[in-house]
Amino acid sequence: MNSNSKIALVTGATRGIGLETVRQLAQAGVHTLLAGRDGARASEAALNLQLDGLPVEAITLDVTDAASIAAAAKTVQERHGRLDILVNNAGILVDDATKGVSGQSLETWRKTFDTNVFGVIETTQAFLPLLRKSQAGRIVNVSSLLGSISEHQNPASFIYGFKGVPAYNVSKSAVNAWTVHLAHELKDAGIKVNTIHPGYVQTDMNKSGDQQNGELSVPEGARTSVKLALIGNDGPTGGYFYFDQVLPW
């Protein structure tokens, strides 16, 4: 059991924003569990960070597999006895933007919600008993500005025209709603729950063929998650953030 530092777990952490979130938390002195559905890739990514002297540990966790989630929670219980920070970072975008809002298949909707919504809920439920053992538990749900219903209705908004990936957008709206409800339940338990927009980040999700899209670097894209993961007892809960900006639901 590691009792000398905070213990964090980041899902979907073998690349992109998730991997960088692990790096930044570890650089802040947090013993960080790098979780990925492919155990070999998670181990390789963790080893690379360990070679830099960072306190990182690999763990296999597929957020769409109940047995994998349960096994990961059991492993954390046995190794550490608690969890201080859970960053629900794993997410997918599988919409076909050429099919519009009404043309997406039910398979696309179900696959998207299995990872982006039900995976977040089931993972959180599994680790909540360990978070309750923390003196200051923190849950960060990685959402997107594309989940903001207010901004989708605002013609002046940057995202007003981004309706071509509806399953992804609506799944992130659901994550935002889950965050509000969970934060209310845990408001007297010392566990703070927030959701974040990482920004328009230069990740594989924002590639168009060989064209890399995005305004922010990956390290910048991880900053909001890390900030909310490390907030003090006077920090917010039940909020929706981008850096220091409070976003409209």
Q: Which long-range contacts (CB under 8 A, 24 or more apart) does 34-38 make?
A: 34/10, 34/58, 34/59, 35/9, 35/10, 35/11, 35/59, 35/60, 35/61, 35/72, 35/90, 36/12, 36/60, 36/61, 37/61, 37/62, 37/63, 37/64, 37/65, 37/68, 38/14
User: Coil, strand or helix: which one is 19?
Assistant: helix
Maximal C-alpha separation, the chain: 52
Q: How far apart are CA 133 and CA 135, in angstroms?
A: 7
* Residue in 160, 168, 240, 242 annotated catalytic: 168
**Annotation marks residue 240 as catalytic:** no
Are the beta carbons of 215 and 204 closer than 8 angstroms? no
- What phi and psi, each to the nearest 5 degrees, are found at residue 245? -90, 135
- Positions annotated as catalytic residues are 168
